[in-house]
Amino acid sequence: MSSAVQVRLTTEGLPAAYKGQGGSFFNEQGFAIVAEQDEGQMLRSIQQAGRKLDQAGVGTIEATGQGWTLERQWALAQGFVDPKKRNEIRWSTDDVGVAEQLQAMYDTVAWARELVNLPPQDIYPESLCTRVIDKLKSIGGDAVSYRLLREEELLADGWMGIHTVGRASMHRPTMLQLDFNPTGDADAEVDTALIGKGITFDSGGYSIKPSEGMIAMKCDMGGAATVAGALALAIQRGLKKRVTLILCCAENLIDGTAYKLGDIITYKNGQTVEIFNTDAEGRLVLADGLLAAGEMGAKRIIDAATLTGAAQVAVGQEYNALFAVDDAYANRALQAASAENELLWRLPLAPWHKDQCPSNFADTANSRPVKGGGAGGASNAAGFLLRFAPNDGANWLHFDLAAAYRKEGEKLFNAGATGLGIRTIARTLLDD
């Protein structure tokens, strides 16, 4: 077992000779973090300290001494992440139960992060789905069953969005329908359908991205990783309700069979969509997921996607964005985020947002014909999804994951996936 740097919380303040930045420093006992009076700022300081320890080349740390709550240890773990190697953190021994909770959460989020961080040669539609199946069956056992729909099976079932977006790739577009049913009753109501955008690589299609904008596009399946991780965590926390996971997976590539600007998709519910931008593909695949959730009769629906740059412009990279027309369900998610210490901000969505992308030849276009979808692009994208949400959007939440990925390391997170959103969605599943 490698030796660990012991990390302590201190109220003694910074040493007089300290000339570094931030409220943390190495000393004879290991590493110290100066306590803050405001708990929110304390958590940020601890996470920044975790980043400092990783940047210093430390491979193993141990939370030692007093004051290490679950949230403080989690903040330390969030900062102490390196996508090139698996750092090790040893939890405080003050409470074995807390340590067990932390380890389960850590393993689940690390798994979801790895899904996002792996190169697209390893994570493509079918491999993403099989990794998710293996993980959830290892946790949920016989309560987990699934159905995989590929290429021609998508066409046979009428899932035109996923097939259209993914048909130009050698890797077949795939929909995963995974059922977690711990009730033992085959006729039990589906309490919640989780839908994830699983674009395993996004070139932008014929609306092609510049090279620098394409480098990180392995992360465009972050929504699928987030909802899969949320279900895994909820099961470990004792989920007793039936939940269906729907992953809408494709590679958005270019060849002679790729979909083009001006093409029209006719969806299973009869709605027609004209393509104004092949780089607005996430909403096209999620529309199938929403229709599938409706067919299953799901009582509630949550979708998650790295959907728009506009959401990131609105809320930055530390918040995820939430959209809903159901105020009660939106408030439930916001309360869950607060309880899990994840930042979530609700952005505008009204029924009239459904009509913000007009088409002369179809019921709607998939975007506006301007860069990034124009002003209000995140709300307009959510409005597109609202067209496909059952019951006019009652009991439906849309998470636009602005905080899911970092192209470069910064003061709170290293480069790569963050896992933000997993805890919030898991708690929302568990709350009554």
The answer to whether the CB of 227 falls within 8 A of the CB of 128 is no
Catalytic residue among 8, 44, 90, 209: 209
Label residues 165-188 b or e (16+ Cβ within 10 Å = b). Answer: bbbbbebbbbbbbbbbbbeeeeee
Reduce the DSSP state of residue 64 to 3 states and report it: coil
Catalytic residue among 197, 241, 283, 387: 283
Reduce the DSSP state of residue 254 to 3 states and report it: coil
Let me know if 197 is a catalytic residue. Answer: no
Provide Rg for the chain, Cα atoms. 22
Four-residue CA torsion sign, 10, 51, 413, 124: negative
Q: How many residues can be counted in the chain? A: 432
Sequence letter at residue 308: T
- The Cα 194–Cα 192 span in angstroms is 6
- Phi, psi (rounded to 5 degrees) for 98: -65, -40
- The Cα 321–Cα 311 span in angstroms is 6
Which string of DSSP letters, residue by residue, matches 338-384?
HHTT--EEE----GGGGGSS--SSSSEESS-SSGGGSTTHHHHHHHH
- The Cα 372–Cα 45 span in angstroms is 35
Let me know if 283 is a catalytic residue. Answer: yes
* Distance from the Cα of residue 330 to its chain's centroid: 17
Measured N-to-C along each axis, helices 125-140 and 96-117 cross at an angle, to the nearest 10 degrees, of 160
Catalytic (active-site) positions? 209, 283
